[in-house]
């Protein structure tokens, strides 16, 4: 699986123009293939839990930017939560790695915002390619 790079150029605040389209769609296809391999992996409800948490943390950052130093550990806690879910065979290794690699790129609130937007685009494509129920 190709690593998702959140910024084309972080310092210039430039995003890859295909981040929310082709790259999000490609990830959705990979995660769906994992689910087809093992039906217990990557149920939409399970993935939605992670997406909802990312949205919650992103909104918290927007509402209380002065709390960033306290929010950041909660962002990193997502890596532990994905490891737990993977250990219980609820998510695939590819999904766990996507979350962990994305979290490792988050240093500032705007990074979390880009991750949140990418995750939203991924969820939209996963609705198309993923499980129908």
Annotate the chain with DSSP letters as a single string: -PPPPS-SBTTTTB--TTIIIIIHHHHHHHHHHHHHHSTTS--HHHHHHHHHHHHHHHHHHHH-GGGHHHHHHHHHHHHHHHHHHHHTTSS-HHHHHHHHHHHTT--SHHHHHHHHHHHHHHHHHHHHHS---
Per-residue model confidence as pLDDT tens digits over 42-71: 999 999 999 999 999 999 999 999 999 999
Per-residue pLDDT at 35: 83
Instruction: Read off the pTM.
Output: 0.94
């Amino acid at each position: 699986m190709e690593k998702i790079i959140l910024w084309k150029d972080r310092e210039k605040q430039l995003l890859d123009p295909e981040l929310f389209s082709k790259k999000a769609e490609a990830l959705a296809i990979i995660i769906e293939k994992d689910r087809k391999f093992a039906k217990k992996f990557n149920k939409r409800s399970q993935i939605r839990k992670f997406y909802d948490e990312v949205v919650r943390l992103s909104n918290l950052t927007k509402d209380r930017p002065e709390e960033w130093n306290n929010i950041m550990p909660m962002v990193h806690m997502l890596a532990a939560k994905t490891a737990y879910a993977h250990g219980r065979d609820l998510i695939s290794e590819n999904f766990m790695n996507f979350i962990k690699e994305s979290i490792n790129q988050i240093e500032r609130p705007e990074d979390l915002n880009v991750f949140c937007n990418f995750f939203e685009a991924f969820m939209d494509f996963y609705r198309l390619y993923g499980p129908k129920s």
